[in-house]
Amino acid sequence: MKIVIMAGGSGSRLWPLSRSLYPKQFLPLAGKNTMLQETYNRVASLSGESPMIICNEEHRFIVAEQMRALNTKANILLEPVGRNTAPAIALAALQAISSDQDPLLLVLAADHVIANPQGFQAQINKAKSLAEAGSLVTFGIVATGPETGYGYIRRGAEQGDGFAVAEFVEKPNLETAQTYVDSGEYYWNSGMFLFKASRYIEELAKFRPDILDACTASLETLTPDMDFVRIYEAAFLKCPDESIDYAVMEKTDSAVVVPLDAGWNDVGAWSSLWEVTDKDSNGNAVRGDTMLHNTHDSYVHSTSKLVATVGVKDIVVVETKDAVLVAAKDQVQDVKKIVERLKAEGRSEYQLHREVYRPWGKYDSIDNGERYQVKRITVKPGAKLSVQMHHHRAEHWIVVSGTAKVGRDDEVLMLTENESVYLPVGCKHYLENPGKIALELIEVQSGSYLGEDDIVRFEDLYGRS
């Protein structure tokens, strides 16, 4: 069995923690590990193979670093653009059978919470015989209430440890959802699957040959790059945007649903995260430096500052270094409206945190103003920034801790704590950490233009142009 994790998506309803360049699947929202790491950990023992993770170009270094932190070598397939789940799974299936193998594919989303991983594994093992016999298995969540935010699956005749799928239905209104729950015949649609790679390809060829043709063509020219595999972009751009439900599962007569009652939650909004987080005696879920008085049934999350609440109920408060969200808990679905406005107005808060991760480490934009910007830069041991130059800004680096190896035109300098170096406009330079501990330094930029796109790269260990 091969584990396939789909790690796309922007998680806009969990802004301001989730941003388009660092979305929710890469955050430790429900535990010490990130959601991607938790997704892999809960099923890792079921497979002896490296997992396949499908993500977009912008997130590739985050995925590689988070899997490396688990001492796991992942096959990371990069999508040049998002085309929904049917093409993503087709790429995984075609890759899986390219070496004369036909494994079972366990297809998971990277951003779900499952409170009972042992129960989840038990249902996966029950589903294996169905998948090996040719069924396309989906896992239906035993509904705990009339949820209007999920699609539903109506079960048909019993089939082994599951049921034939009688019908997929769209997100219902509250009254309809209640009838579904009362009938006992409907499950929430989890978006998790188990099937033989070849069976998915066969059914996709039957119902959506256009998707299969585009995916096949996009895999004819693969470009390995470090931990990643890039597909042929021009061919993939021609691929239709379609979910696996619409493309295959609603049309095939081989769909089987296996019930799952293991504390599943897709954490689609702050209210969902409140539900899966431990609470105090007043029903409050808190993280970080918080102080609550006469506060009930609320979610309060602090990242960098003390957050205090007084006399409130059923609200969500989330603080980051550059933004604060305050919302009624029953209206958190509309957080995406704020994200849409931020994007429309060209503000960076929809896309980036103040603290930005790079393959070599991270930087935190401490302060900025007209013609200047101050950053705190952290470089991992052994890491090196690209050899580069800037047309519009000069830089001054002051080492806070660690050792810095600095290239400045034809010079190579070694700097330690409290030492500094000046890099004038047009200077060709690089920064490297040759030591065994993290390098911390303060960077002061000055000039007429300070955008991140004022970088001319000459060499880069990470393949960035």
Q: Is residue 250 predicted with pLDDT exceeding 80?
A: yes
Q: Which residues contact 354 (CB under 8 A, 6 or more apart)?
A: 320, 321, 322, 364, 365
The full DSSP string for 134-185 is T-EEEEEEEPSS--SSS-EEEEEEEETTEEEEEEEEPPP-HHHHHHHHHHT-
Is the pTM of the predicted complex or chain greater than 0.85?
A: yes
CA angle 186, 191, 197 (to 5 degrees): 120
How many CB atoms lie under 10 A from the CB of residue 387? Answer: 17
As a whole number of angstroms, the distance between CA 237 and CA 233 comes to: 6
Q: What is the reported pLDDT for 100? A: 72
pLDDT band at 439 (very low <50, low <70, confident <90, very high): very high
As a whole number of angstroms, the distance between CA 355 and CA 144 comes to: 38
pLDDT band at 313 (very low <50, low <70, confident <90, very high): very high
Q: Is residue 93 predicted with pLDDT exceeding 80?
A: yes
Query: Which stretch of DSSP H or E encloses residue 120?
Result: helix 117-132
Parts of the chain belonging to CATH 2.60.120.10: 355-459
How many CB atoms lie under 10 A from the CB of residue 81? Answer: 12
The pairing of beta strand 113-114 with beta strand 264-265: antiparallel
**355-459 fold:** Jelly Rolls (2.60.120)
Half-sphere exposure of residue 32: CA atoms within 13 angstroms, side-chain side? 3
pLDDT band at 99 (very low <50, low <70, confident <90, very high): low
pLDDT band at 465 (very low <50, low <70, confident <90, very high): low
As a whole number of angstroms, the distance between CA 207 and CA 203 comes to: 6
Give the position of tokens 């490296």. 50
As a whole number of angstroms, the distance between CA 134 and CA 140 comes to: 18
pLDDT band at 222 (very low <50, low <70, confident <90, very high): confident
C-alpha of 464 from chain center: 21
Q: What is the reported pLDDT for 92? A: 95
pLDDT band at 9 (very low <50, low <70, confident <90, very high): confident
Cβ(353)–Cβ(321) below 8 Å:
yes
Q: Among residues of the chain, what percentage have pLDDT more than 70? A: 100
Tell me the two tokens of residue 120: 């989840």
As a whole number of angstroms, the distance between CA 112 and CA 106 comes to: 14
Q: What is the reported pLDDT for 231? A: 93
Cβ(391)–Cβ(425) below 8 Å:
yes
Instruction: Please indicate whether residue 115 or residue 101 has the higher confidence score (pLDDT).
Output: 115
As a whole number of angstroms, the distance between CA 391 and CA 454 comes to: 7
As a whole number of angstroms, the distance between CA 231 and CA 217 comes to: 9
Q: Is residue 226 predicted with pLDDT exceeding 80?
A: no
Q: Mean of the pLDDT values across residues 273-294?
A: 96
pLDDT band at 173 (very low <50, low <70, confident <90, very high): very high
Multiple choice CATH, 2-265, 3.40.50.2000, 3.40.50.10260, 3.90.550.10, 1.10.1060.10: 3.90.550.10
Parts of the chain belonging to CATH 3.90.550.10: 2-265
Total residue length of the chain: 465
C-alpha of 95 from chain center: 21
The closest alpha carbon to 431, from 364, 365, 382, 465, belongs to 382
Q: Mean of the pLDDT values across residues 355-380?
A: 94
pLDDT band at 420 (very low <50, low <70, confident <90, very high): very high
The pairing of beta strand 228-230 with beta strand 52-56: unpaired
Average model confidence (pLDDT) across the chain: 95
As a whole number of angstroms, the distance between CA 196 and CA 133 comes to: 9
Q: Which long-range contacts (CB under 8 A, 24 or more apart) does 174-179 make?
A: 174/146, 174/148, 177/146, 177/147, 177/148, 177/152, 178/146
Strand order in the sheet with 420-423: 355-358, 361-369, 372-379, 439-447, 393-401, 420-423
